[in-house]
Structure 1
Amino acid sequence: MAYLWVKWIHILSSTLLFGTGLGIAFFFWIAHRRGDPKVIAETARTVVIADACFTAPAVLVQFGTGVWLALHLGIPWSLFWLKTALILFFVVGACWLPVLWLQARARRLAAQAAAANAPLPASYRRTMVWWFWLGWPAFLSVIAIFWLMVVKPTAAM
């Protein structure tokens, strides 16, 4: 019975992780495209809160339940799909951690521009370029992890 609960929590946390990440990226990108520092600052404030409330706990739960399931089922860590999923999980983390900093930086730069009634500085645009490009490997890695979790291929394809 514990197995089914942990598996359900694992699936739920992966869904929350993917959905929240995609939603955050969408709303932040739309705010960025509007170019209004006040809108960007307010959206970025919400994005940072959402990452703290939803994404970060989901990452921890995802990792913890995944390890528990692998140990409970006696799945060897060397198994192709599990090893690849873990590598991709760390790729996601390596992209997401800088993105957290970039989101906070974009929020600060937009808030400063809004308070001064000034246009967004060039440093804001550079910040968003990095945010955008770090998002793609993270997004594609999450998609690949979902595929690996469902298909569980036994060898490199």
Structure 2
Amino acid sequence: MMETYLLVKWIHVLSSTLLFGTGLGIAFFMWMAHLRGDAAHIAATARTVVIADACFTAPAVVVQFLSGLWLARFLGMPLDYSWLRVALWLFVLVGCCWLPVLWLQVRARDLARAAAAQGMPLPRQYRVVMGWWFALGWPAFIGVMAIFWLMVAKPDGL
């Protein structure tokens, strides 16, 4: 049974690394494309970002949640244990930020694609979409960092 525990723990750590790394990479490339301001470049980058979220981020979220629940159960840790409860609430908060970001990335891609196809500048709606994308990214990023800290430190008395 210890081998199973170590395998699930390894999967949990690996999925958290994938989740954080992919999220940070996606944010970096999306923001760099945005700063460049070229509709065709933004459309191509956003297309790849949407694919990466579907292939890497979304599965990592599911694996992270399920492996974390399995580990807590295996260790006999109640889900209302202080640091674990805070981590779960942060996980929900991050998800509430991330789900709209997925839609915003698709919308930014579509707006940039249409502008590039028509040879037009990016519309005002694109800037609104990216403003929301940027605003929702910060609490998600900070939440993931806090979850990492909670998983490592496991502080009592939160």
TM-score by length of 1: 0.99
Residue 112 of structure 1, CA deviation: 0.2
Residue 41 of structure 1, CA deviation: 0.1
Residue 138 (structure 2) pairs with residue 136 (structure 1):
yes
CA distance in 2, matches of 1:86, 1:118: 44
Equivalent residues in 2 for 1:36-51, closer than 5 Å: 36-51=38-53
Residue 111 (structure 2) pairs with residue 101 (structure 1):
no
Report the equivalent of 1:80: 82
Question: 3-state SS of the aligned residue for 2:80?
Answer: coil
Which residue identity is paired with 1:24?
Answer: I
CA distance in 2, matches of 1:80, 1:153: 8
Report the equivalent of 1:122: 124
Residue 29 (structure 2) pairs with residue 27 (structure 1):
yes
Which residue identity is paired with 2:36?
Answer: R
CA distance in 1, matches of 2:70, 2:20: 20
CA distance in 1, matches of 2:78, 2:152: 17
CA distance in 2, matches of 1:155, 1:26: 36
Question: 3-state SS of the aligned residue for 1:155?
Answer: coil
Which residue identity is paired with 1:63?
Answer: F
Runs of 5+ in structure 1 lacking a partner?
none
1:66 aligns with one of 64, 68, 90? 68
- Runs of 4+ off more than 4 Å: none
CA distance in 2, matches of 1:90, 1:26: 23
CA distance in 2, matches of 1:78, 1:122: 45
Instruction: After superposition, give the CA deviation of every residue in 1:7-48 in whole Å (9 maximum; x if it has no partner).
Output: 000000000000000000000000000000000000000000
Runs of 5+ in structure 2 lacking a partner?
none
Residue 6 of structure 1, CA deviation: 0.1
CA distance in 2, matches of 1:74, 1:85: 17
Report the equivalent of 1:92: 94
Residue 78 of structure 1, CA deviation: 1.3
Equivalent residues in 2 for 1:140-155, closer than 5 Å: 140-155=142-157
Instruction: After superposition, give the CA deviation of every residue in 1:76-122 in whole Å (9 maximum; x if it has no partner).
Output: 11111100000000001000000000000000000000000000000
Which residue identity is paired with 1:33?
Answer: L
Task: Report the RMSD for the aligned CA atoms in angstroms.
Answer: 0.4
Instruction: After superposition, give the CA deviation of every residue in 1:51-100 in whole Å (9 maximum; x if it has no partner).
Output: 00000000000000000000111101111110000000000100000000
